[in-house]
Amino acid sequence: MEVNTGIEYFNEPLYLESGRILPNFKLAYETYGRLNNDKSNAVVVCHALTGSHHAASRYKNDTKFGWWDAMIGDGKAIDTTKFFVICINILSSPFGSTSPLDIDESTGLEYRMNFPVIVISDVVNAQMRLFKKFGIEKAYAVIGGSLGGMQSLCFAIEHNKFTDRIIMLASTYATSAWAIAFNKIAIHGILNDIMFDDGNYDVNLVKKHGLVGMEVGRMAGHISFLSPDSTSLKFGRKYVNTDGLYELKGRFEVDRYMEYNASNFAKRFDPLCYLYIVKMMNNFDCTRHFDNLKDALSNILARLTLISFKGDMLFRWQEMREIFDVMVELGKGDMVEFYNINSNYGHDAFLVEYDKFDFYVKKALEWKI
């Protein structure tokens, strides 16, 4: 499989939904496979909250594969012998695309807290510019899970001639108060962390130590990605060997797991970028510029495949089902498929239990117009 990683610089303004303007911007991306001659085999894969454009393969000397390596590759569900797969790092993310840590030309300083709030529609608009540079006028399919699913739905509604196939996993049409509540822990923790210093923190110091506010936020995220069943199955009530049951600071295995993950994450993921992306997730509501969900979905021309997971605590399957029901109500029943997968993994299932849904992704990609 051919893999290419790059950064594309756009020396042109991006007009944002907020009314603000990015005078120029850059997008980091990765591609897998080869674009065919008529540029008709591009499959756009949209990443989630903390993901990146590194969706598949493994970098030299790296132990970890891209976040959807099990799905993308030669002979896999998203078959790179057929498709040219492209994954683009979202704006605001710390992995290469324009983010709050970049230089604001108007001041010559880093944006930091002056970075504009970016919404899903902006992310998608920016991506459209990159496809244009590639000469891709129409994608074969767009696919994404979680925050990536929001991007997919946005493509379907706001760029409805861009593709004939949309696949959306573990996502929603509008972030619920419940999900916003989970995100609040990170927002509150980060904004009130002394080290955060209203966004003026020392980046290297944060990379070394991590913010406590980011750690607790990540813990809340972890909980929302899991499920009661998977957590109990994985950890039970096992106590850390070296800790005492009657020590105040003694930990259960689940405590240690959360500590370990939160600590690593806080060093790896910039807290200001996290704030901006969480804001992006909270703001997502595909009906904002429409009368209601029906009105919004009436714009969809592509065939929509919805894959939800029964144990998903963050974006519940009922929310995906609502999209399906409205599509049917709109007389588009033959253009929508809904699969509700049994899984103990909660929201994380779309990153873990491939064998339960890769067949449906493959099937959706095989659909002929």
Q: Is 144 helix (H, G, I), strand (E, B) or coil?
A: strand
Query: Residue 164 and residue 190: Cα distance in Å, rounded?
Result: 41
Pairing of strands 25-32, 3-10: antiparallel
Mark the segment that binds a second copy (CB under 8 A) among 29-37, 43-51, 247-255, 358-366.
247-255
**Contact 185/220 with Cβ under 8 angstroms?**
yes
Mark the segment that binds a second copy (CB under 8 A) among 108-116, 165-173, 294-302, 351-359.
108-116
**Residue 208 interacts with a second copy (CB under 8 A)?**
no
Q: Is 348 annotated as a binding residue?
A: yes
Q: What is the dihedral of CA 179, 182, 185, 188, to 10 degrees?
A: 10
What's the token pair of residue 141? 């399919």
The DSSP output letter for 131 is H
Contacts of 234 (CB under 8 A, 6+ apart): 254, 257
Instruction: Please identify which residue in 204, 248, 355, 368 interacts with a second copy, judged by CB under 8 A.
Output: 248
Q: Is 347 a catalytic residue?
A: yes
61 versus 106: smaller Cβ distance to a second copy: 106
Q: Is 97 a catalytic residue?
A: no
What single-letter amino acid sits at 228?
P
- Looking at the chain, the number of H-run helices and the number of E-run strands are 12, 14
Q: Is 122 a catalytic residue?
A: no
Instruction: Please identify which residue in 42, 46, 154, 254 interacts with a second copy, judged by CB under 8 A.
Output: 254
Instruction: Please identify which residue in 35, 223, 328, 330 interacts with a second copy, judged by CB under 8 A.
Output: 223
> Which is the catalytic residue, given 146, 152, 171, 227?
146
**Residue 249 interacts with a second copy (CB under 8 A)?**
yes
Restricting to residues 52-91, which ones interact with a second copy according to CB under 8 A? Answer: none
Instruction: State in angstroms the smallest separation of the CB of 87 from a second copy.
Output: 26
Query: Helix 228-235 vs helix 253-268: angle between axes, to the nearest 10 degrees?
Result: 110
Instruction: Please identify which residue in 5, 24, 282, 298 interacts with a second copy, judged by CB under 8 A.
Output: 282
Q: In sequence order, what are the beta bridge partners of 79?
A: 73
Instruction: Please identify which residue in 9, 59, 178, 260 interacts with a second copy, judged by CB under 8 A.
Output: 178
Q: Of the candidates 272, 350, 314, 326, which has an alpha carbon nearest to the alpha carbon of residue 116?
A: 272
Catalytic residues: 146, 312, 347
Q: Which residues lie near a second copy (CB under 8 A)?
A: 17-20, 113, 115-117, 119, 174-178, 180-182, 184-185, 187-189, 191-194, 212-213, 215-217, 219-220, 222-223, 226-228, 231-232, 234-237, 245-250, 252-255, 258-259, 262, 275-276, 279, 282-283, 285, 313, 316
